[in-house]
């Protein structure tokens, strides 16, 4: 019985390691999500600045090349925002998948903990029952040869 419990404890240990790896992966993905969200905020500010610079040029006399360059800055920032938004949605999908896997790993660990607890309790009950049977046998042997007081 003890060998069986040890074997299942090793399995539990492995499942706990898998769960911890999923937790680390989730933390990394959430950090990546935060980094991308911060960069999106910076890009949004940069886009507003570029649009403001572009609109300020409209009141002045400027060449077509100047307007084109200013517009290229806005377009480049828009492109970067679009790429980062795509990355953010991808990371969020990964986070959702990792959360599902983490939940599954956690359930597996809880099931193994419950199973091992039941094995330990069963072993304890069997041991106690065996000990009680031995004590009953000793008591029976001890009092088997003695006559009872009522017989006299």
pLDDT tens by residue, the chain, 152 residues: 788 889 999 999 999 999 999 999 999 999 999 999 999 999 999 999 888 887 776 666 677 888 788 889 889 999 999 999 999 999 999 999 999 999 999 999 999 999 999 999 998 999 999 998 888 888 878 777 665 555 54
HSE of 98 in the Cβ direction (CA atoms, 13 Å)?
19
Query: Across the chain, where does the E strand assignment appear?
Result: none
Rounded Cα distance, 136 and 144, in Å = 12
Rounded Cα distance, 114 and 38, in Å = 43
Rounded Cα distance, 152 and 150, in Å = 6
pTM of the model: 0.72
């Amino acid at each position: 019985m003890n060998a069986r419990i040890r074997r299942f404890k090793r399995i539990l240990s492995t499942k706990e390691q898998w769960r911890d790896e999923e937790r680390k992966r989730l933390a990394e993905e959430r950090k990546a999500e935060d980094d991308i969200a911060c960069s999106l905020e910076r890009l949004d500010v940069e886009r507003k600045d570029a649009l403001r610079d572009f609109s300020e040029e409209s009141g002045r006399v400027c060449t077509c090349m100047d307007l084109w360059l200013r517009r290229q800055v806005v377009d480049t920032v828009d492109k970067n925002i679009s790429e980062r938004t795509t990355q953010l949605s991808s990371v969020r999908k990964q986070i959702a998948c990792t959360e599902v896997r983490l939940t599954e790993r956690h359930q597996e660990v809880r099931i193994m903990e419950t199973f091992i607890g039941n094995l330990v309790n069963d072993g304890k009950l069997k041991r106690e029952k065996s000990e009680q049977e031995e004590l009953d046998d000793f008591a029976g042997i001890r009092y088997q040869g003695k006559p009872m007081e009522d017989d006299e």
